[in-house]
């Protein structure tokens, strides 16, 4: 009985991997239609933040709001892609004029956002997208591929290089420290 269940689980993972890889190839092909480029953070007019609220402590959330307020004060358009992997969750950044909320009810079995959410993601043109999600989920990578961001950045994960223009390895996964490192590398562009 246990052997049969183990074989079924292995077969299910193989099927899921096959269809996920197929979807990834489709999404990356679609992503190539949008012109990606390297944008200096100081020249950016709009910035997207992809945030997994399940990974944020109260201090991180405060830092995120402070950063958003500061960016808006400088005239930047700030778009928030809020990821929450709890099924019946509600948006933490719901007051943001430009935000897309994604929870398990809005993704399919491959962790890919549904068509309605893909449309919401694609409606925002951004100079820079900063992906702060360090989870094992595929959702942030799909969001990045569907986005119309000229420069896409993320925490380094082997095998996901084709989704981003810049990937940075971090020792500390706190929002403030990650933001400083992203900005450091984005300021080095075209200098």
Query: What tens digit of pLDDT does each residue of 142-155 get?
Result: 999 889 998 998 88
Which letter does DSSP use for residue 152 in this model?
E
The pLDDT of residue 182: 76
The pLDDT of residue 5: 85
Enumerate the H helices of the chain as residue ranges: 2-31, 58-73, 115-122, 139-146, 175-187
- Between CA 110 and CA 142 the distance in angstroms is 10
- Between CA 185 and CA 120 the distance in angstroms is 28
**Which domains are seen in the chain, by residue range?**
2-187 (3.40.50)
Q: How confident is the model at residue 96 (pLDDT cuts 50, 70, 90)?
A: low
Residue appearing with tokens 């004029």: 97
Identify which of 148, 134, 6, 130 has the alpha carbon closest to the alpha carbon of residue 14: 6
- Judged by average pLDDT, the poorest of 118-122, 134-138, 170-174 is 170-174
- Between CA 94 and CA 10 the distance in angstroms is 39
- Between CA 24 and CA 128 the distance in angstroms is 21
Between 40 and 99, residue with greater pLDDT: 99
- Strand 46-52 and strand 77-83: the pairing is parallel
Q: Is pLDDT above 70 for 34?
A: no
Query: What tens digit of pLDDT does each residue of 45-68 get?
Result: 999 999 999 988 888 888 888 888
Q: Is pLDDT above 80 for 170?
A: no
The pLDDT of residue 115: 92
Residue appearing with tokens 């590398």: 185
Q: Is the dihedral of CA 65, 66, 69, 74 positive or negative?
A: negative
CB atoms under 10 Å from CB of 113, counted, come to 21
Across the range 24-35, mean pLDDT stands at 74
DSSP string, 116-132: HHHHHHHT-EEEEEEE-
- Between CA 66 and CA 60 the distance in angstroms is 10
The angle, 0 to 180 degrees and rounded to 10, between the axes of the packed helices 2-31 and 139-146 is: 20
* Residue 142 token pair: 């799909």
To the nearest whole number, what is the mean pLDDT of the chain?
85
Q: Is pLDDT above 90 for 100?
A: yes
Across the range 95-112, mean pLDDT stands at 87
The pLDDT of residue 107: 93
The pLDDT of residue 18: 86
């Amino acid at each position: 009985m246990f052997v049969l269940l183990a074989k079924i689980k292995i077969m299910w993972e193989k099927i899921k991997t096959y269809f996920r890889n197929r979807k990834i190839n489709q999404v990356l092909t679609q992503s190539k239609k949008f012109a990606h480029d390297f944008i200096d953070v100081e020249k950016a007019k709009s910035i997207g933040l992809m945030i997994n609220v399940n990974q944020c402590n109260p201090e991180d959330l405060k830092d995120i709001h402070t950063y958003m307020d500061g960016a808006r004060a400088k005239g930047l358009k700030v778009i928030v892609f809020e990821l929450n992997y709890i099924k019946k969750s509600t948006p933490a950044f719901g007051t943001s004029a430009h935000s897309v909320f994604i929870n398990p009810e809005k993704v399919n079995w491959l962790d890919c956002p549904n068509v309605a959410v893909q449309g919401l993601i694609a409606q925002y043109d951004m100079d820079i997208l900063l992906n702060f999600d360090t989870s094992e989920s595929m959702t942030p990578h799909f969001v990045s591929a569907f986005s119309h961001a000229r420069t896409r950045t993320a925490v380094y994960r082997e095998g996901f290089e084709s989704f981003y223009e810049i990937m940075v390895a971090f020792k500390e996964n706190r929002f403030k420290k990650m933001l400083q490192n992203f900005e450091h590398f984005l300021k080095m562009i075209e200098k």
